[in-house]
Structure 1
Amino acid sequence: MPRPKPVAFDKKKIVAENRRARFEYSIDTVYEAGIALTGTEVKSLRFGEGSIAESYAEVKGKEVWLVNANVPEFSHGNRFNHEAKRPRKLLLHEREINKMHGAVARQGMTLVPLSVYFNSQGRAKVELALAKGRKDHDKREHIKEREWKREAGRVLRDRG
């Protein structure tokens, strides 16, 4: 009997977050993926350096790659230091990769990284989302809805 999946990912230390992604895209499904990193990349991430603001993921064959994620070179690294913007392999189950490949190919969805973090065991993970891009008018509606909810919360808080 398989173990039940956790409802939310156990994030211990968030290193990088793509806050713009939730505004630019309507998020459908969220996956947790491991990252294949070198030693100096892990050390650089543990110092809190790294950015996924302009990054995306793509499916190539039976593998998923994180492209354009910036992990700066480790300051105390030697000649074996890593390249800052190299593509990094994401570690996922084959059935998850097949679902992603189908959604990207057929439904025109995008793989967007939401955050990079270390879990409770100290492993570097990426929160990856299958998302569909929002048009400008959808973004305006999203802003209006968010402001309306904020205003309604203020009114209810002031009355009660």
Structure 2
Amino acid sequence: MADGVKVIATNRSARHDYFIDQTYEAGLVLRGTEVKALRMGRAAIGDGYIHVENGEVWLENVHIPEYVQGTWTNHAPRRKRKLLLHHGEIDELLIKTREKGFTIVPLRLYFVKGKVKIEIGIGRGKKMYDKRQALRQKQDDREAQRAMSLRRAD
């Protein structure tokens, strides 16, 4: 937990499936039981997606489980949630997503000073050969690090 940031969930497949060009930090409009469920550290953002509708940014298909001790005031786990961004940022997102191949993906869900934030990114889809090349590069880097650490041990 560095700089008062407590990460709740990350979307590890997003950086594998997309080239992330730009990232933004957005607030979320949540209900009380959703915040309590998130404080328990349970959420899944892997299937989530973001779209701009009528000048507002919406997060959909993110699973925040029901609060265990909640009553009839509990929330729906996969409901549509509004994101809080500045108008200029919304305009940038709208312009970028109108270009071919760009989409908005959730990257990370976290607490900052008690407030729930989400890191979103504008991503360009990777082709299969890009994914293979990235995996190969990662494996080569790992082998080089291993060789250097063995060299230092000698």
Higher mean alpha-carbon deviation, 49-58 vs 103-112, is at: 103-112
Match of 1:83 among 62, 68, 76: 76
> Is the aligned partner of 1:138 residue 2:141?
no
Residue 5 of structure 1 corresponds to: none
**What is the distance in 1 between the residues matched to 2:135 and 2:102?**
22
Per-residue deviation, residues 29-87 of structure 1 (Å, max 9, x unmatched): 11100000000100011011111010011111211100100011111111111111001
Q: Percent identity?
A: 43
Structure 2 length-normalised TM: 0.93
Residue 21 of structure 1 corresponds to: 14
One-letter identity of the residue aligned with 1:118: F
Residue 85 of structure 2 corresponds to: 92
Per-residue deviation, residues 103-122 of structure 1 (Å, max 9, x unmatched): 00024311111111101x20
Alpha-carbon deviation of 1:149?
A: 1.1
Residue 97 of structure 2 corresponds to: 104
Structure 1 segments (4+ residues) deviating >4 Å: none
Match of 1:158 among 127, 147, 150: 150
**What is the distance in 2 between the residues matched to 1:94 and 1:123?**
20
Alpha-carbon deviation of 1:23?
A: 0.7
Residue 46 of structure 1 corresponds to: 39
Residue 36 of structure 1 corresponds to: 29
Match of 1:126 among 100, 118, 125: 118
One-letter identity of the residue aligned with 2:53: K
Structure 1 length-normalised TM: 0.90
Structure 2 stretches of 5 or more lacking a match? none
One-letter identity of the residue aligned with 2:132: R
**What is the distance in 2 between the residues matched to 1:108 and 1:137?**
16
Alpha-carbon deviation of 1:153?
A: 1.6
Q: Secondary structure at the match of 1:71?
A: coil
Structure 1 stretches of 5 or more lacking a match? 1-8
Q: Structure 1 10/59 Cα, relative in aligned 2: closer, same or farther at 3 Å?
A: farther
Alpha-carbon deviation of 1:141?
A: 0.5
> Is the aligned partner of 1:74 residue 2:64?
no
One-letter identity of the residue aligned with 1:73: E
| Count of aligned pairs | 151
**What is the distance in 2 between the residues matched to 1:142 and 1:11?**
32
Q: Secondary structure at the match of 2:132?
A: helix
One-letter identity of the residue aligned with 1:38: R
